Structure 1
Amino acid sequence: MSDLNQLFKRKNQPSLRPNSRPSSSFSSSSSSSRPTLESEDSGLTGLTGSTGLTSRNNDATTKRIFSKLDNLQKMLEKIMKNQEKMQNDIKSVKEEVAILSYDQDCVYSVILESVQNLLEKIIYPTFDQFKETAKSFMEKSDINFFSSLGHRWEPFYHKKIRVDLTKKLRALRSTLCARVKTSIFEVCKVPPINIAAEASKISAWKKNPAISNSFRKLFDKVEEDKEDTYMTRIIKNVWPKKKNIPNLQIAWVISIAEIILNPNNENIKISKEIIKPVLLKNLNKIENNESFEYESDSPERLEVASKRLAAPKKSAVPERPAAPRNDENDDDDDEADEGDKAYEANETYETDEGDEYYNEIINIDESEKE
């Protein structure tokens, strides 16, 4: 037993190699372990520094990328703005081409309708009345085109309508005035006179008894058993096929006849300034249903009438600011100037065959005649 115990004791003891030196081995292993830890620490420190450098490099790269993206965005916005501007420019060019190439026949139709309307309702329109009338008929004629003009209506009007409209109105008004004068000479059976006649010839013509007699009987019946007066006949001759003649036009014809046949003035050329006071008076008479009659030719009354014609600046007709006329050749008289295009009156005043005169000039009361 003791041997076995000894044996076990021996086996439980650690086996020692020969020449082994445990304490020195331990110390050597302990001493060698320290440099190993230091090298590991230095390796970790180097790895940490490398990571920080990489991180800084990545941040700089990211900033450069974002900077380039910002530049690209700005460039893209600039391109889009330029593209939008190009689109607007193209649209403007198309609109300009549409304006310049718009059917001239349609423009001419608008001018004709505007002229007829102005002659019936205004006769002597202002600049604004020209424009507003043309605008109204342009809108009625082609609403789509008119709507597309927008703020370009003004330049379109000035480029395509204004000058022709003004000339057309003045030419047609001159034609109608000439027809009125011809009708006066024919109905009243007085010798005609040229508007370019010398002052001495005009004075002699005015002193002709036939002129003063015609002036007195303008509102007398031509024949006792007929309703027509001389004035009615004159108007019918001007518009033989037109019915529903506007009151303004009737007053205009009466005014022309009264001015030309009045022996107490030297006027045979009709201008806006001369006719407007007389026109206003006659229009008021028609609208108020007053009768037309020969006014006494006493020196006092005729002198007043003569002064009124000679000094028309105090006209009672309300005026708007005068329109510029530098290129429109409109000096406000109704005689055609050299260079004006002549128009036939029926070009804008077409009437149906068989039309009858409708507006009636009230005959004077026989008891009031002198």
Structure 2
Amino acid sequence: MKALVLAGGRGTRLRPLTHTSAKQLVPVANRPVLFYGLDAIREAGITETAIVVGDTGDEVRAAVGDGSDFGLKVSYIQQEAPLGLAHCVVIAREFLGDDDFVMYLGDNLLIGGIADLVAAFQSSAYAAQLLLSRVAEPQFYGVAELDADGAILSLQEKPDVPRSDLAIVGVYMFSPVVHEAVRAITPSARGELEITDAIQWLINRDHKVHSYLVSGYWKDTGRLRDILECNRILLERVEARTDGTIGGRSEIEGRVVVHPGAVVEDSVLRGPIVIGAGTKVVRSYVGPFTSIAEDCVIEDAEIEYSIVLGSSTIRSVPRIEHSLIGRDVEVTGTSRVPNAHRLMVGDHSKVQLRA
């Protein structure tokens, strides 16, 4: 069994942040989304892994390296343009050989892992097995229609009238027969080789394609609100730990993690939150479900339900919430108003707000 991890794509729904950074490396609970997927692969007993990368390949390579930090042996496959998920399988043919494999979309967060899915597939004779999850708005997803035994009858891509509420999660199990399918299909109207077309090709030729329902939490982190929700879910699992310095009249409430080298002075930290290494929080309030990365400065400011990436500064701002702030960003206030600010700010930006 091998793993094919997809970490290309342009992340258009997270622009401007993804103009300068890979969407799979946006952190939740101060850890890149991609890393949780690599953990899940290792925990399922898979070590041989290839990561398909695109324009942000250098950044992904720098973050993951040879995979040894994750207990994996990682190689990289360059996709010259975003030509579809099935195209990723085509260009990975030499790596995959004739082995079964899991294809894992690197911007998906799946709490609970994939060990049970992998075990179920290995004990079956399926050509493919798709991880599915019930969703409230299936019209925004790829949707699977099942028979009474859980076999997949058909697939729909973002249908106006969905046949079910079962969305296709970004984790797929395949046998080697999928290589025939991806070579047989033609590009869709948007010019991509769609993995749903390849799976439908298998179904139409009576290959066994089965479903597996998500038992834990799953989210596609392609949108701001989804990233913030994932951050909330993961922060609810943290254990309180203070390895930094707490000084002055600071108050610590709930599950708060303060990493080594961080300094908190005359501030209120209300968990669950994570404060990264080397970050300074001075005369500020950091509220629940907030992740502050390394080497940031939060001074005379209030922030909650937000993510702040590394080396950013927030100073003299009365309130920030429901925000994702990139690396090396400066957010400063000029005069005071009572309104909350909602921000999605790309890397290397400067934002000045009335405070």
User: Which TM class, normalised by the smaller chain length?
Assistant: under 0.3
Which structure has more relative contact order (CA 8 Å, sep 6+)? It is 1
State the structure with more CA Rg. Answer: 1
> Normalising by the residue count of structure 1, what TM-score does the alignment of the two structures yield?
0.20
> Normalising by the residue count of structure 2, what TM-score does the alignment of the two structures yield?
0.20
Give the structure with the higher percent helix: 1
